[in-house]
Structure 1
Amino acid sequence: MNVGHDETALDDPVGTSLTGHHAHLARRVGGASTYLPDVATFATVRADAGPAAWTDLAALLGSGELADMFSCPATPPDHWEPVFSLDGFQMVLPDGVEGGLAEDTADADADVVELGADDVPEMLALVARTSPGPFWPRTRELGTYLGVRRGGELVAMAGERLRPPGWTEISAVCTAPEARGQGHAARLVRALITGIEARGERPFLHVAEANTAAVALYKRLGFVIRKPVTFRGFRTP
């Protein structure tokens, strides 16, 4: 499938982000890299990493710490304890797709706002209620985050996370239980798509295979599955 942009950067989205747009948020030791604390837990080594790269990653993270390998296919040494494994999809929005879904499901009384440092406590509280995926006190530094406020209260949000060359990942899409079914998630994703495309980049995202409602929403918005992925985490020795 040709989506009109170079897809190779999406094969290691953490690594290509940390050596590119997010280099200022990176920590590195030898052949291993990860994000700064409280920004993201994702770490990476080359897909063909040898023992030295895993030694570098253990030195970078410290003993007994979580190595959140995201979708990195490299396999650590046997003495690294598995912590989690979750099947999912990497999805992309092909060139020429507008990001469908009509506006008429949106709540016209809800305000879409850009979220900043002062909004972090509310963002963390919403994440705690909805569990959209990893989100930390400095995650908003990865890109633009938008929210929906209803009566002043933050009831939905979505933002930009990984930034491989030519691409921006949409992430942290979540809505408070009492505000679901009002089109907030679609409205926020469409707004992010507009901003990403204005930079000449393409949107992509990751979603758990078991989250069938989210997969269906993203397909209605025009996203297509590029490939299956497995999200994995390990404990450093």
Structure 2
Amino acid sequence: MDAALRSPVPAALGGRLATFGAVRGAAARFDAGVSPFGGLPVEASGADWADLAALSGPGRAVVRVAEGEDPPRVPRGWALEREFPGVQMDGRAVPGAPDPGAVELGPADRPAMAALAERTRPGPWLPRTAELGRFVGIRSGGVLVAMAGERMRIGPAGAGGATEISAVCTDPAFRGRGLARRLVDAVVAGIVARGERPVLHASALNDGAIRLYTAMGFTVARPMRFDQIRTPPG
């Protein structure tokens, strides 16, 4: 499992999320309406880069997700457009807890989920992101003010698998009330109930988020990169 988590996109799209993207050789790319993420082996070969270019199309942006402390050295013709250092955090010691105030979010909630993501910018949110897994939220006065959910599902379902927690966000007017922690606990509880390992990613520069997750019992497992690169023009 740890090997798959070093480059989670190929592991996710080569398994339980196969319908949300494509795999070619050791490269993988989510469909454009789902996520901007693509993946290569940590030590990628020229053939791996060529496969990712073929999956993405000429002149297209893709966010490469992989373990590392430094930006990738892209081949000739590629462009490194935005550098983003992150960390991957392991929640195998976090039991989680269902939250009676959290509601399950479904297709009817997607406009509200997109609006909250637009206000808070928790990370990439595209028209089909909500299809990737279970999402829960908290409403105030009928308005969705906080949410969290699942994104990449890595490895087998149940024991031996892992699920990534993502889209953790709270409306600015409702921050400081512990809503994010409650929702992460609720998502963790669902993942643990399936026998899987919870994982999440955070910006390496977001000390507040890392402190929150550490206080919950998550541990930093490895440095990660979320760098935006662009394929060679056609």
TM-score, scaled to structure 2: 0.89
Of 69, 83, 86, 1:85 maps to 83
Residue type of the alignment partner of 1:175:
T
User: 1:99: Cα distance to partner?
Assistant: 4.5
Q: How does 1:1-237 map to 2 (within 5 A)?
A: 6-71=1-66, 75-95=73-93, 97-99=94-96, 111-165=101-155, 166-237=161-232
Distance in 2 separating the partners of 1:231 and 1:57 = 15
Distance in 1 separating the partners of 2:66 and 2:122 = 17
RMSD: 2.0
Distance in 2 separating the partners of 1:28 and 1:149 = 38
TM-score, scaled to structure 1: 0.88
1:227–1:49 CA distance, 2 compared to 1 (3 A): closer
| 1:99–1:222 contact (8 Å) kept in structure 2 | no
Q: Secondary structure at the match of 1:188?
A: helix
Distance in 1 separating the partners of 2:18 and 2:198 = 20
Farther off after superposition, 26-35 or 219-228: 26-35
User: 1:132: Cα distance to partner?
Assistant: 0.7
Give unpaired runs (5+ residues) of structure 2. Answer: 156-160
User: 1:72: Cα distance to partner?
Assistant: 5.5
Distance in 2 separating the partners of 1:42 and 1:162 = 10
Distance in 2 separating the partners of 1:129 and 1:70 = 24
Q: Secondary structure at the match of 1:77?
A: coil
Q: Secondary structure at the match of 2:153?
A: coil
Distance in 2 separating the partners of 1:144 and 1:16 = 19
Count how many residue pairs are aligned between Structure 1 and Structure 2. 224
| 1:40–1:135 contact (8 Å) kept in structure 2 | yes
Distance in 2 separating the partners of 1:145 and 1:189 = 10
User: 1:70: Cα distance to partner?
Assistant: 1.8
Q: Secondary structure at the match of 1:157?
A: strand
